[in-house]
A and B are shown apart, each in its own frame.
Chain A
Amino acid sequence: MLRLAGIAGGVLAARPAAARDDACIEGRTVRWLVGYTAGGGYDAYARLLEPFLEKATRARIMIQNLPGAAGAVALRTLAAARPDGLTIAILDGPGALWSAAANEQPTPDLARDLTILGRVARLQHCLVTGPRSGAKTIEELVGLGRRRRLVFGATAPSSQNFVTCTVIARIFGLQVDYVVGYPGSRELTLALLRGDFDAMSLSIESGLDAIGPDRVIPLLLVTPERLPWPQLQAVARLTGDGGLAGRRPDLFASEPAEVLELGAAIHDYLAFGRIIAGPGGISVALRRCLEDALRAALHDPGLAAAAARAQRTLAVADAAQARADVDRARAAVTRILPISAAAARRTR
């Protein structure tokens, strides 16, 4: 009994100092969860940010890939972690919101069950076609769609590439069949090059390599902002200054107001982006400390240079901004869910 008490005493004495809530995480080891396999977009961002976050926190950051159930394993692990600042995660914000709204599985609520600490990047999608479709611009694809049913490709009906395609099909009034079931974006891109389908929505950062003459041809950017990459300068944008919504209303089947509304919704949904969060219940002092450290890391000039070299865009937001974006993204999901769900039912 005495021995057991001694062990218990030792364990209690060895508890991390950060668990006392009155200290930050300097000198500690932080577990950084990534809900996808090593080598993917989320993993790349985590590894890009890791040295700068280590510098800002003066803690050791250990990246742990916890793939499974489209990021849900990491999300649940994070929600169940102790609120001691020693477990954080980079999350697919839109995916988590979609999963919760579609009731695909019990999903932690981003606002209630987690502590959002900031955002590192937005998701930016582009409608693209391949060399075999016969279209080189969005106008040509819409023209093609007026003559025959189009076929779009996607990974799964709940994926961002499927959701984006369904909204685009709706506003242009395109009759579209979907081929879904490609295991990942690289297989999807290869299928486009083969001519398995006419078009798909591609996450710009993971697909930039594949863009080129006689390869993946970008048609329409689903973002109002101008993007820095030269290969996307001439590509039409859906909304924003000089966007198609204002310039070419004749291309759309939807009323201009609906085009703007759905364009904003798909943008808000994707722009919620790659967020960094901790478990819920983190004390105010610890939360502020983590937010400050993350802010310092995200604004480190070295990070900007490294991201530029890796052709990864940063769209950093502090915790307050990222938390404010939750409601906007949630409203966007509510708006576009019925459109995508109807297309998904037809596809199945």
Chain B
Amino acid sequence: MPVFQAAWDGLELVLAWPNFLYPLAGTLVAMIFAVLPGISGITLMALAIPLTFQWAPLPVLLLFGALIGGATFMGSVTAILLNIPGTAPNAATLIDGYPMARQGHARTALAASATASALGSTFGIVVLIALVPVVTTVVPLIGPPEYLMLTIWGLGTIGAVARGSMARGLAMAGLGLMVSFIGLDPISASPRFTFGSLYLQDGLGLVPVFLGLFAVAEVIALMASGRGTVSGKTEAEELAGSTREGIRAVFRYPGLLLRSSLIGTVVGMIPGLGGTVAAFVAYGDAARAHRADGRFGAGDIRGVIAPEAANDAKDGGSLLPTLALGIPASAGTAMLLGVLSLHGIRPGAELMTGGLPLAFALIWSLFLSNWLTSVLGLSLVRPLSRLTLVRTARLVPAILVLATLGAFALRGSVADVAVALGFGVLGWLMKEFGWPRIAFVIAFVLGPLFEQNLRLTLSLQRLGRIDFWSRPSVLLIGGLIALTVVLPRIRRAHA
């Protein structure tokens, strides 16, 4: 069946009465719950499985597509307004989003985030549709050597985000790498830096660490600063920026939007990487590309656009191997695959030929929910931005409660709360004494992937299964690294 005919049939399925109610309901539920840190689309999907057990496959696909898409943007709302990442990928958004809110530009940041999310997801879905016919050829071309090069590219951005002191940036990156190595060795399974603790065997979770480094640290900073409100203003009229300004900002940087969406889509396609890597790699890339005229880390709108576009674009990318090969590329799509299986739908060749309209119904549901969330988000910009006018004395306990709940909700572990509080103190010290938290975070996110793919690449090279230096994709990414990381440094040094 031609792809476009199947896409049309899928759209008709979604828009038919009462089918479109499922994406609508899924989106609204996801939007409401995703504002709570630690509650992601995956949590909602897990909760929805028993409820949908007796449903026909189509409504299930429509509902779950919306749960994936609806939760992605909303996590950025608390990131921008309160410095609390709703989900792990939103930690990249708060680096510039929260400083914008502090400067009274919350509306602009929220609107830019909503617009970048919608356009990023559209890009991801367009690529998904375009690659459906050739997916079985494309996905297997990307292996550990390419993952390794991508992580090197990501780590190469640390210099750009260090802002001022390269030595401090590298020191923080080193610390981030060390912390990321806590846990069991991925090959020998011997414990590293665990001090005999079972909790540490799995390493430190991204969410508690991020909540600590940003949300809890901000609580301490707000208390120490004596600042009356987050924005320093008390009346809505005093707030600068607008929804229109945020939307315009996204269209002012089309290159950035496309590049970040592309990063998100490609990273989304690769099993094991996910939204956090996509958001941070896109953020680092933006910071590096606009280093000369950027204020990254201090409230640059491009620091909001890049991670949000990448984070939403990855959803389309991650559906590609899931639907075509039956190999999920993210935790969300792994859950989706489980649900498909419970309803007797087998991804792979069967779904991609005869069942293609059903696959497209899922894709359209994801698309609709992404847009619906962004449109609703845009309409809520004004009331949401008023959160930055709430007095610190009232806001601080609320942030602490949200951060604590978010850390606890992830695994129901009190130790996660302790980690969040510990990293809160560390984050505040980093902020107070000018040690870049973002360098720590990028290394912490990419460290395990770097190690794992370095070791796999070395094993495969040693056993003669690959020739690292003759892989076109490795050379291509290597060329990109040279162009974007190394060459500008040589030029600057020469100048």
Contact = CB atoms under 8 A, between A and B. Distances in A.
B187 A348 contact: yes
A157 interface: yes
Q: Is the interface of B mostly helix, strand, loop or mixed?
A: helix
Contact of B50 (A50, A156, A212): A50
Contacts of A105: 198, 201
A247 interface: no
B348 interface: yes
A76 B341 contact: no
Given A48-B342, A194-B143, A104 B189 contact: yes
Given A40-B334, A196-B465, A47 B327 contact: no
B338 interface: yes
A158 B344 CA distance: 32
A157 B188 contact: yes
Interface string A5-20: 0000000000000000
Contacts of A208: 346
Interface string B441-472: 00000000000100110011001011000000
B202 interface: yes
Interface string A195-238: 11100000000001110100100000000000000000000000
A39 B53 contact: no
Interface stretch (B41-49, B71-79, B97-105, B113-121): B41-49
A346 interface: no
Contacts of A197: 465
Nearest to A64: B412
Interface residues of B, number: 52
B232 interface: no
Interface stretch (A167-175, A176-184, A249-257, A268-276): A176-184
Contacts of B42: 38-39
A310 B465 contact: no
A147 interface: no
B228 interface: no
Contacts of A194: 140-141, 143
Interface in B323-368: 325-328, 331, 334-338, 341-344, 346-349
A69 B49 CA distance: 25
A101 interface: no
Contact of A181 (B187, B201, B337, B466): B187
Contacts of B271: 184, 186-187, 190
Interface string B125-143: 0000000000000011101
Contacts of A73: 198-199, 202
A261 to B, nearest CB: 28
A210 B338 CA distance: 14
A39 B143 contact: no
B343 to A, nearest CB: 7
Contacts of B479: none
Contacts of A158: 189
B434 interface: no
A190 B50 CA distance: 30
B186 interface: yes
A161 to B, nearest CB: 14
B452 A183 contact: yes
Given A187-B272, A194-B140, A69 B184 contact: yes
A48 to B, nearest CB: 7
Interface string A269-297: 00000000000000000000000000000
A309 B343 contact: yes
A190 B346 CA distance: 17
A157 B185 CA distance: 11
Contact of B325 (A63, A64, A182, A210): A210
B270 to A, nearest CB: 9
B346 A311 contact: yes
B14 to A, nearest CB: 24
Contacts of B53: 51, 306
Contact of A191 (B143, B334, B412): B143
B67 to A, nearest CB: 12
B316 interface: no
A312 B272 CA distance: 25
Interface of A: 37-40, 43-44, 47-48, 50-51, 63-69, 72-73, 76, 104-105, 151, 156-158, 177, 179-184, 186-187, 189-191, 193-197, 208-210, 212, 215, 306, 309-312, 347-348
Interface of B: 42-43, 45-46, 49-50, 53, 139-141, 143-144, 184, 186-189, 198-199, 201-202, 271-272, 321, 325-328, 331, 334-338, 341-344, 346-349, 411-412, 452, 455-456, 459-460, 463, 465-466
26 contacts: A38-B43, A38-B46, A39-B42, A39-B338, A47-B49, A47-B50, A51-B50, A65-B411, A76-B198, A151-B465, A156-B189, A157-B187, A157-B189, A177-B463, A179-B465, A180-B459, A181-B459, A183-B272, A184-B272, A186-B327, A190-B139, A190-B140, A191-B143, A194-B143, A196-B465, A310-B344
Q: Which 7 A-B pairs have the closest CB atoms?
A: A209-B326, A39-B335, A39-B334, A38-B46, A69-B201, A309-B344, A68-B202
